[in-house]
Structure 1
Amino acid sequence: MIAEDSVLLRVGLIKVLESVGYEIPAAVGDAESLLAAVEEHKPDIAIIDVRMPPDFADEGVKAALLIRRQWPDVAVLLLSQYVEERYAADLLSANTSGVGYLLKQRVANVDDFLEALQRVADGGTALDPEVVAQLLVRKDRDPLRKLTPRERDVLALMAEGRSNAGIAAILVVSDSAVAKHINAILMKLDLPQTDADHRRVLAVLRFLEVG
């Protein structure tokens, strides 16, 4: 499902997604229509513009948060024209699975966009690298200061939603090296001994300062 007030982008998204096999039960231009469509169709994932009519403020974010509360099985991917970290933080603080936040410019790189979309649809996360980069710049307080530069690189890629294998490919290191870095990150952030997936989420939330 798509909620985007720009007709050109909405049509473009429909064409791209349908070309790779996605079914689009509804494509709307405002938050009110989005909520009605989600209630009717219960889609697997909703792609939502951050700013929509009538005020072009944060209607999309509010709708996404409402969707996550009322229909938690519906994944949401927010699209924004600009980096606005608090929207990513708001979304992740509400639910840490099946959420994403990307800049609209990422749609132009179709393969990367589709990979992020599928990751979110499968219950993972996808944060725009620009959001992560800005967060890294302002993270100068403990406990993140304990991390080495390489560990910060790994944590940033975790925040983007990358798997161990994905991180290893980007950093050109072995899977075992990534696993060691992640273990070190979890220890330095003093995260509780729980299942691995939950600890990864906690690490990302610590990074975003929403947990």
Structure 2
Amino acid sequence: MLADDAVLLREGMARILRETGFTVAGQTGDGVTLIDLVRREPPDVAIIDLRMPPGFSAEGLEAAAAIRAFAPGVGLMLLSQYVEVHHALRLLTEFDGGVGYLLKDRVSDLAAFGADVRRIARGQTVIDPELVTRLVARRRERDPLDELTERERAVLALMAQGLSNAAVAAEMHLAVKTVEAHIRSIFTKLDLAPDDREHRRVRAVLTFLRA
């Protein structure tokens, strides 16, 4: 399902999605109607503009929160014209998987956009590379990532984009076993002991984003 008040953009996304094998189950221009549509027929993924009527602030994020409360199996992709770090961090820290935050410019890459939608449908997290860049550039007095090597930081940045170990290996031209070794080192340096109740990979990414 699609929610965006810009009709031309919404219709363009619908066409792109249909051409890449998706079924568009519904469209709307506001969050309230989207919530009603999802209640009637929950989709695999809802693609939602961050800023919609009436206030054009964070209506898409609020709609996403409402949908996650009553339909936790629905994937949620937020689209924005700009990188808005505070909204993205809320999405990534308060929602348990199956979420994404992309700039609208990414929609033009048909193959990548379709792949991202499918990843969210599978419960994975998708983060716009520009957001990762902004977060890396931020500074804090105490950085929990100071212990990581440059290579380990690069691995963690790709993990934060939602890449699997194999995808990280391909991106960095490394063996998968080498990437796995880097990830084990990251977990150790961030003091992330094995815990059946929490996913260490997610905790490492959250540490990266908060830093």
Q: Alignment length, in residue pairs?
A: 210
Pair 1:110-2:110 in alignment = yes
Computed over aligned residues only, the root mean square deviation of the Cα atoms, in angstroms, reads: 1.6
Pair 1:161-2:156 in alignment = no
Aligned CA distance change for structure 1 residues 139 and 68 (closer, same or farther; 3 Å): farther
Matching residue of 1:74: 74
CA offset at residue 40 of structure 1?
Answer: 0.8
User: SS of 1:145's equivalent?
Assistant: coil
Pair 1:149-2:155 in alignment = no
Following the alignment from structure 1 to structure 2, what is the Cα–Cα distance between the partners of residues 142 and 53? 38
Following the alignment from structure 1 to structure 2, what is the Cα–Cα distance between the partners of residues 4 and 139? 34
Q: Which moved more, 1:109-118 or 1:160-169?
A: 109-118
Matching residue of 2:90: 90
Post-superposition CA distance 1:121-170 (Å, at most 9, x none)? 11101000000011111155332111111111111111110000111111
Post-superposition CA distance 1:103-125 (Å, at most 9, x none)? 00001111111111111111101
What amino acid is aligned across from residue 118 of structure 1 in structure 2?
Answer: R
What amino acid is aligned across from residue 60 of structure 1 in structure 2?
Answer: G
In 1, are the aligned partners of 2:20 and 2:114 still within 8 Å (CA)?
Answer: no
Post-superposition CA distance 1:181-211 (Å, at most 9, x none)? 111111111112136x81101111111229x
Following the alignment from structure 1 to structure 2, what is the Cα–Cα distance between the partners of residues 139 and 147? 15
Following the alignment from structure 2 to structure 1, what is the Cα–Cα distance between the partners of residues 98 and 45? 8
Aligned CA distance change for structure 1 residues 88 and 116 (closer, same or farther; 3 Å): same
Alignment of 1:1-211 (within 5 A): 1-140=1-140, 141-194=142-195, 198-209=199-210
What amino acid is aligned across from residue 123 of structure 1 in structure 2?
Answer: G
In 2, are the aligned partners of 1:49 and 1:78 still within 8 Å (CA)?
Answer: yes
Sequence identity percentage: 49
**TM-score where L is the length of structure 1:** 0.95
Which stretches in structure 2 are left out of the alignment for 5+ residues? none
Following the alignment from structure 1 to structure 2, what is the Cα–Cα distance between the partners of residues 165 and 12? 32
Aligned CA distance change for structure 1 residues 142 and 204 (closer, same or farther; 3 Å): same
User: SS of 1:183's equivalent?
Assistant: helix
**TM-score where L is the length of structure 2:** 0.95
In 2, are the aligned partners of 1:96 and 1:201 still within 8 Å (CA)?
Answer: no
Which stretches in structure 1 are left out of the alignment for 5+ residues? none
In 2, are the aligned partners of 1:68 and 1:94 still within 8 Å (CA)?
Answer: no
In 1, are the aligned partners of 2:2 and 2:48 still within 8 Å (CA)?
Answer: yes
